[in-house]
Amino acid sequence: MQHLVTLALGPGFTDDAQLAEVRSTHAYRELTEAEWRWALDFITTGGSTLKAYPQYRKVVVEGASTG
């Protein structure tokens, strides 16, 4: 997730391309779709924990509704 946030702060990333890159590593070669979605949810909404703190900025999906 730290890598995803770093990419989001820089050039950004696309979901499918980044998942393929992550899965190309030995450590995450068996990453499931559900685990990937959990990671994306965590960096965009804060997951179940940080949803309670809207004042903390999260990664914003380009073209997504913010309100």
Per-domain residue ranges of the chain? 2-50
Residue owning tokens 């779709």: 33
- How many CA atoms lie less than 13 Å away from 25 in the CB half-sphere? 8
Could you read off the pLDDT tens digit of each residue along the chain, which spans 67 residues?
899 999 999 999 999 999 999 999 999 999 999 999 999 988 888 888 887 887 776 788 876 544 4
pTM across the whole model: 0.78
pLDDT at 44: 87
pLDDT at 22: 96
C-beta atoms surrounding 39 within 10 Å: 19
